[in-house]
Amino acid sequence: MDLPWNDERSNKFMTNVGLITSDGPFGADVMACEWTHHISYSPGLIAVCISPNKATYENIKQTKEFGVNLCSTEQSIMSSIAGGYTGSMYNKINALEELGFEFYGAKKIRVAMIKGAAVNIECILSKQITLGDHITLVGEVIEASNNSDKVPLAYHGGRYFILNTNVAKPSQEERERIRKVVEKHKK
């Protein structure tokens, strides 16, 4: 069966917004990609699921490299622009610069990276797999830097959120009770 975009069941997922930068046949570009996942520690691998009709996909297919800039809580407008216009018709990077956002050149690949993102990661394409209506591009991390003062933006049900409330831990007594129950069921 299908699980369509904006369906109330699809909307229960919570994601990050990866701002994926690339430079290829469509020129320097940035797109918003909520399906951005860290999938391996050693080596570091990042998977991004991108619809094949995006300029970003064509760029990465040709150059085999891309930037993953995790959108910070101060960059929701950048996410909406990167996700609302296509690089086949708009120079989003120039527009974003005019709006005050800043970019810098990646260290190891030929793409623009985003200043003020929560994390900046440079990837070389290691594999691509067509899964349903999106293509999963797996990038091997070759450079990564953390901006410790920036907080990643959360995305849920088509809206942006700042995560700032911790779920309370059960009391010591309750944890002990839980531990005993689980121990009783040891195989």
Contact residues toward ligand FMN (CB under 6 A) are 17, 29, 31-35, 49-51, 54-56, 79-80, 82-83, 85-88, 134, 155
Residue closer to ligand FMN (CB basis): 157 or 170 = 157
- Nearest approach in angstroms of CB 32 to ligand FMN is 4
Contact 54, 31 (CB under 8 A): yes
State which residue has the least CB distance to ligand FMN: 83
- Nearest approach in angstroms of CB 124 to ligand FMN is 19
Q: How many CA atoms lie within 13 A of 181 on its CB side?
A: 6
Residue closer to ligand FMN (CB basis): 12 or 186 = 12
Alpha-carbon gap, residue 111 to 103, rounded angstroms: 10
- Nearest approach in angstroms of CB 101 to ligand FMN is 15
Alpha-carbon gap, residue 20 to 146, rounded angstroms: 16
List, as one string, the DSSP characters of 34-98. Answer: S-EEEEETTTTEEEEEE-TTSHHHHHHHHH-EEEEEEPBTT-HHHHHHHHHS-TTT--HHHHHHH
- Nearest approach in angstroms of CB 42 to ligand FMN is 25
Task: For residue 16, give the amino acid letter.
Answer: N
Residue closer to ligand FMN (CB basis): 15 or 126 = 15
Residue closer to ligand FMN (CB basis): 88 or 126 = 88
